[in-house]
Amino acid sequence: MSNVRDYLRKRAERKENKQTAKNVGNLIIKHRMAIISRTILVILLCAALGATIYVQLKNQVFTSYVTLSSVDKQQYDNAVCLNYEKGFLTYSKDGISYTDNKGNAIWNQTFEMQDPMVRIARTRVAVADYNGHIIHNIALSGDAVEIDTNLPIRQFALAENGMVAAILEDTNITWIYLYNSAGEKVAYIKTTMQKSGYPAAVALSPDGKLMAVSYITVESGAAKSSVAFYNFSSVGQNFVDNFASGADYVDAVIPYLTFINGDTAFAVADNRLVIYSGDQRPKSTADVSLEEEIQSIFYNENYIGLVFLDTTGAGKYRLDIYNTSGTVVTSLYFDMDYKDIILYKDIVIIYNETQCTIFNMKGLERFRGEFEKPVLLFSPLSTKKYLTVSKDSIDIIEMK
């Protein structure tokens, strides 16, 4: 009988121990779940707070600006200023120079030109005289290579790695020469009006491996354009004359052609916007018909901006901003006679010598104001800080 009682007692103890262990396990699980829940809640709250702050910063409206620094520096009346790296370029018929945002002269290249043409590709700069035969190819350090084309230069393009493509006029032939950063000729294309048409525009991809050319011909009294892409990489060696792809456009004149990144280019005709994609054999991915006359063209790595005269009464001008799919993401109306328009990250800067307006890509006006003194250049250092160059000073300002 005692054995039975011992057995029942031990079985009851085992059940109690199991129940206790189960309760302890449940408590541990509940505790862990509570910690996980609190952690997730904190993460969600931080994410929501971060998103709120991000949206507020993107939609922040500025009402004034303060001058953070100012350096006295005289600018010549006939000089042109261009945004470049952490400062700006100044060029005229006598030469080109690079000045940083502290007013330090970094380099200076002298020349004598009648009609200088300047190309900027990230840290590279190239300048040539229209109808001249010398191209100055300049690195960020100021080291320069002089390219003698021996023929009159009509147009030229510059790649970020220093490659240069030049359209050169000959008696009955128009040549397109491709030079490397050392100034050595690495390829050429022979064109004639009868065979291919006249090359009106040329562009290079950032790595210099792709070259795009716009040819214009006349058929039956009507203008026709063709866009051709040439591949000078190892892949392009498999193509006849490096020709990778192309397309014809009847009743169109394409005088503007450029790459906006390594695998996207666009062409602007008098009646259309065409966007091409592909890093080996670019193809048209968007073809947008345009009914109005284009006044100006602006772009960055993600967007293309076309300015038209507005006919709705909403403003003197309309700026349509397209993404790389050819879709209009926003249309901005404004009355200011602009000196330049800059697409910088997710903001649009419109300015002239005395006024400035800043929008975000949703069309929200973030700033409208006047400069304290006429500016030659207004360049973004960030979405809040800007470099301004006037005739007698270089200033860094911050929006408030």
- The full set of domain ranges for the chain reads 104-364
pLDDT of residue 50: 46
Listing DSSP states for 265-282 in one string gives EEEE-SSEEEEEE-SSS-
CA 158, CA 136: separation in Å to the nearest integer? 11
Look at residues 140, 170, 266 and name the one whose alpha carbon lies nearest to residue 212.
266
pLDDT of residue 31: 59
**Phi, psi at residue 29, to the nearest 5°?**
-60, -45
- For the stretch 85-136, pLDDT in tens is 999 999 999 999 999 999 999 999 999 999 999 999 999 999 999 999 999 9
> What is the CATH class of 104-364?
mainly beta
- Contact status, residue 64 vs residue 71, Cβ threshold 8 Å: no
pLDDT higher at 58 or 341: 341
Other CB atoms within 10 A of residue 102 CB = 11
- For the stretch 154-187, pLDDT in tens is 999 999 999 999 999 999 999 999 999 999 999 9
- For the stretch 274-308, pLDDT in tens is 999 999 999 999 999 999 999 999 999 999 999 99
Work out the pLDDT band at 48, boundaries 50, 70, 90: very low
CA 109, CA 181: separation in Å to the nearest integer? 17
Task: Give, in degrees to the nearest 5, the angle at Cα 396 between 390 and 400.
Answer: 115
- Contact status, residue 153 vs residue 130, Cβ threshold 8 Å: yes
CA 267, CA 214: separation in Å to the nearest integer? 8
* Average pLDDT value over all residues in the chain: 90
* Residues paired with 399 in a beta bridge: 65
Task: Give, in degrees to the nearest 5, the angle at Cα 335 between 302 and 259.
Answer: 20
Q: Residue 400: is it exposed, middle or buried by C-beta count within 10 angstroms (0-12/13-18/19+)? A: exposed
The residue whose two tokens read 């993460």 is: 43
Q: Give the chain's radius of gyration (CA, Å).
A: 31
Task: Give, in degrees to the nearest 5, the angle at Cα 11 between 7 and 15.
Answer: 170
- Residue 310 token pair: 């507005």
pLDDT of residue 25: 56
CA 85, CA 122: separation in Å to the nearest integer? 7
CA 148, CA 151: separation in Å to the nearest integer? 8
Q: What's the whole-model pTM score?
A: 0.85
Q: Residue 189: is it exposed, middle or buried by C-beta count within 10 angstroms (0-12/13-18/19+)? A: buried
**Phi, psi at residue 266, to the nearest 5°?**
-145, 155
- Contact status, residue 160 vs residue 124, Cβ threshold 8 Å: yes
Q: How many CA atoms lie within 13 A of 242 on its CB side?
A: 17
- 338 pLDDT more than 90: yes
pLDDT of residue 43: 59
pLDDT of residue 34: 62
